[in-house]
Amino acid sequence: MRKSILTGFVAFASLFASAQSISDIRNLGIGQTVTVSGVVTNGSELGNIRYIQDGTAAIPAFGNNLSSVLRGDSITATGVLFDFSGLLEISPTSSFVNHGPATLPTPLIVPLSAISESLEAQLVRVDNVTFTTTGTLATGNSTVQITDGVTTMDVRINGSTNIDGTVIPTGPQTIIALVGQFNTNYQLVPRNLNDIFAYVAPAKEINVKMNGTTVFNNGTYVIGNTPSTTITIENSGIQDLTVSGTTLTGTNAADFSTTLSTSTIPATGNQTFTLSFAPQGTGSRTAIITIANDDSDENPYIINLSAVGTDNLATQPTANPTNLTFPLVKSYTVGGQYTAGTGAEKYIVLWKNGSAITGAPVDGTNYKRGDVVGDARVAYVGNGTGFTPRGVIANQTYHFAVYSFNGTAGFENYLTTSPATGNVTSTGLNIGNYYNGINSSNTNFLTALSAKINPHTFVSYFNYKTTVINQFEVRDTTNGQSYITCAYSGERKVFNDPFDWTAVGYSREHSYCHSWMPTFPADNPEKNEYSDQHNLYPTNLQNANTPRSNLPLDVITGNVVFSYLDCKVGYNSSNQMVFEPRSSQKGNAARAIMYMATCYNGISGNNWQIPSNQSQDILKQWHEADPVDNYEIARQEFVFSTQANRNPYIDSVDFACHVNFSNMTYDACSVGLPELLKSNFSVFPVPSNNKVYAQVNGVNITSYSVTDMTGRVVTKKSKVELPVLELNASDFKSGVYILSVGTTYGEVQQQFIIE
């Protein structure tokens, strides 16, 4: 009864022949907007998520607008690729078209051991499993486990179904479910009680393993250069299974031979045979083994064989990809896509900050994301035609090179001539007219600023991982691993994806301490101020978060009582115990604390003045001494994309001067404006060969002029109101220029270079 993944989809797939398959979509980068077509395999019983499956793979789509979509509907949905605690999904789903009822896919019958990333989101069926506990399922959401005697797996019971609160079945069961994932665990997600029923053994049921690994009917098994492979034919039925013949066909069938011909496999038994491989040439060697049998719905059982010849390399692709473009460009992320290369199975994308890539991949080397290749690193490896590298920050020019290759691990053959190349510059602060109508010279400044940044979009504390961590903070390191940086200590914690708070030993640190909040405790029920992403940073729980506790931030001049890398606990000049973070986090932490005091001040009549033991003078000193860098700009724009509000003290260094945070009142301020303008003026990228951008954070540019190094005025303009000035590099010859901009507070200038 085991079905090929393609069964039942031929007619449906033809309706969307021009669309990318879900398998292709699953290989694109997080954050890219995609469109998928397929049959929906669940309805409202799982809430606002719909699992969509085509003939190649499946993916969940999440969105309130999907509530009318029924199980069995065929839809085309558009949205953004999102990693939700290990589960790749489309979220939010911005739009969809319902094409009406279609044929539901037949659940793929699989052993528990075969459930992995390749089956994520698909509708599957597991037979002859038992629950590991008895009694009654909890009311609401819960997780229980099943086993087949060898493998144990989680079953996720959703409180929105009719399963919760019912008696746990005993004895052998069959479960039909969607394959989910939470952190590192794969899960089975049944849709209702009809998906769980007593197991009835089939008459005859074939399963084929190659060297101990189940290979689905119409699946592919990689031989590589292995001369001998064990074929195991299993029969989980109650009657004898007859194998009536085996044939080898395909391009290089003569390279393969097998001892499997005719055989009788007893009920619940198995037999082993040998597949031999002796290549008669170089490059990729392929064949198809067809096993005739009397299983009623898997006759014949077909396996595609993939191997390499005497050179131990796959066949080199004919052409590299072309037309490298960047449809996604933000200060915190960029996304690229390209046209597939001729004769190519996969692609490797290299990237480098600042200059063109000169390195190239080496044949027979299995690279993973983050690995070093010459003077570049690997941003992506896979069969997709799109990518989103991790670790992008603002105002940087990133260069990329995309190579085609064929072959599996150790047998890769890269086409290293004429890769697809290109570069893109991440954007900077995108303030626009956000602060229009707010004037720091008016006595109502603080009230107006508070009203501007609150209320805002609520993002749960629980979702901090799926947003800030997974989509911004996590970086690549070698061997396909990832790392996250402790904001306080600078520690780089290496881990295997997906990120998990407990496994990594990290937590979400409130820069403005939870216990300082007038609404403390604000976590049950969860309030906006508790989960505000502008205030939360990842930190090592035991060595940074716990030592900081609710201590004020300050410079330690006396005894140090605890230290971990670049953070420490000790005594300040007033003999007060304080916490001192690493230097590069001091300004960030100060701006987060000032933001919180401003954002929530006056809500429900509460005054959010900082505690008396927290010096506002040190916060303002750190704010000026550790100015906003490109990491913080990128983080600001990312949080703006999730919460729809900004931290004004990142956008303007001047704003902090006008607030007395010890009592949350307006301060006229007397900071020298020339220094403020200079510290807030940025021109990027330098050098440039495309566009030149300039901005004075929080202040509009009212005029500008460009002069060359001889003093000649190249261009000038007055009476403008520009939050960001944009110049075309093509309007200038190569060389060094001076850009002078005027604002309502004075004039400031800086050099820039045209390549």
Condensed to tens digits (0 to 9), the pLDDT of residues 83-103 reads 888 899 999 999 999 999 999
- Taken in order 575, 581, 583, 585, the sign of the CA dihedral is negative
For 116-165, what is each residue's pLDDT tens digit? 988 999 999 999 999 999 999 999 999 999 999 999 999 999 999 999 99
User: What does pTM read for this prediction?
Assistant: 0.80
| Local confidence band at 12 (pLDDT 50, 70, 90 cut-offs) | very low
**Hey, is 86 helix, strand or coil?**
coil
Both structure tokens of 377: 């690193």
Quick: pLDDT tens for 249-278: 999 999 999 999 999 999 999 999 999 999
Question: Which residue ranges form the domains of the chain, and what is each CATH number?
Answer: 10-101 (2.40.50.200), 108-198 (2.40.50.140), 206-308 (2.60.40.10), 330-425 (2.60.40), 445-666 (no CATH), 673-754 (2.60.40.3080)
The position carrying tokens 């729980």 is 541
d(CA 354, CA 379): 15
Would you call the peptide bond into 648 cis, given omega within 30 degrees of 0 as the criterion? no
- Examine the pLDDT at 29 and tell me if it is beyond 60: yes
Instruction: Look up residue 155 and give its two tokens.
Output: 């079953």
323: how many CB neighbours lie within 10 A of its CB?
11
Q: What percent of the chain has pLDDT over 90?
A: 79
Residue with tokens 């009694």: 135
Average the pLDDT over each of 381-390, 427-436, 447-456 and give the range with the smallest value: 381-390
CB atoms within 10 A of CB 744: 10
